[in-house]
Structure 1
């Protein structure tokens, strides 16, 4: 039976799922790894620790994908939380620095495990109105997506080529627009290195894990772990489940969440912020691009997992390249890569007229970047949005 599910002895039957899995992972990785590195650096990681985080994410995602897809014979694709990384990029380093950020990653992973084991917690998160969660994400993304504009006047010769290549990509090959923008950024970085005489030590190109003992603080748990958990559940895990269901797959909720949570906790000490179910990549690996036979598409997740292993080897080199980039170039790549996410979040925030005020307040507070009691704006945006939602709720008005 296993041989039949895998395509038997028909080599042609495996070509589509294998290539679909490789493409899904390549697109997801090259489109957003700059966002991950930016986010980790923002909460206190050194270049080496950020590179370690990228390496840890690749390895934990690979193991989780290979195990889940083989156990359930479903193309379950794992990814890092791009919205979560964007949230980190908008968060200032907290008292306690990088160790408390790592502690927040561990706490978020534990929350995913608990959600898988205790469905009531998932239902509780489901009570948060979707427009408020989307508005919080949009507010967090705004500053990053403004980077191509705010940095253009400072270094037009470095930023403009990246924007032009991205725009051409959106017009002619949308799926590869963000990776093409990074290739353009790589050329800009290379030219700048030659001009400035900058070099990269060979030792910096070798991937290695940099372990950090996690520490915990209330500011990090409330200001990083909680928003990271909410935005990842709302923008990654729930859509990931929905997409897979629309493709005809009965996704094992408990197994998937527990696996992604354990993977997050294992990778956190090395700098990995969050592992979760993929959404867009899931559509590539679980849909028609992976072949006409749904019973063979689980192989796409297998090939995607091994692709992550190969990409893990390149993590240090990419992080080293990012570390020597001219100011604004990588932020531009990250901002362009997140424009689609920002558009979707804005649409989700204001698509319904009822409750729009709460969503707008949430967006404004998140975009403000305020810090109160050492806790960042994402948490306060969530609180403000929920308060306005309750006050303006029609059911509240009937009781007055």
Structure 2
């Protein structure tokens, strides 16, 4: 299937790696054939999976020969490539397990749950239409279990401190409650921010529900760089090690009214970005060379094209478009942003934000509020804001 991809030759040169097939693409600085291109992508992802396997065993997340994973699927090229790569790895693992064992090693059984969070809020009283696209994904990758979860599933999750957020509109369906919440947020950036945080909470909850040892997210180097700068612009720079880096994440439980980290933390989940060392354009090319059905992939046109009205333009859109442009000519700049963030250390927080779930920098919050001229209005707002980091305070209260 690789040889059928019509992506053009690179000056008629032979592949720099295998020296046999003609080069049809460039990977970093090498002109390579389709097979070597796919091998490069697969090796990069496989190394991240090996690190995850070692950490999950060391932390005890892998139990009784079972290593289940939850994978987030947005239908974008990066998350689509993540699912395809896992399918390749699972195929190889299944082939090895069928061979007669030559050692005492017992293969770990793996089940992968692919979860898509539907962020479209349907009209009140209307039944959500069946996801034809997700059904096609399930048919294409029968090894995996696919599931669609509505954004309204975030309502009532114990990992969110709902007392820190504005009260929901009572007596309404969940869809209308969320729409009312989003309509009363101060900006389009705030709505996009809360949507992303709700999606992350839902994916974590699904991973816990399925008793998985890790949550795999399909963020590329490009999207992680954009996320780094957008979170910094929103006032969450202090929380970057928890939002961008791989590792264990504590999941709070506010069902019993605990607000401190010690009382609220009840679960720990490994969160890994399997394709964090690959650029978005590389993953897009990989999906073509690997023979994926491109009709299964939905590209985010809103981030690629300029928005006419700045009223509906978000910080995330600006950063995403910027790094996609920088990626074309200066990929090392994009990689340096992510690598620098990866060097930041993180400790278990003594106090965590009730919305994004990461550590609160109390001193930084006060300094930010003073420089921005924020004045808390009323005791209720003060009590509510004290449970949120500065970034979430700005998203919720403006």
Fold agreement, TM-score > 0.5: no
More strand, by proportion? 2
Q: TM-score range by the shorter chain?
A: under 0.3
Higher RCO by CA contacts (8 Å cutoff, separation 6 or greater): 1
Give the TM-score, by structure 1 length: 0.22
Q: Which protein shows a greater Rg?
A: 2
Give the TM-score, by structure 2 length: 0.22
More helix, by proportion? 1
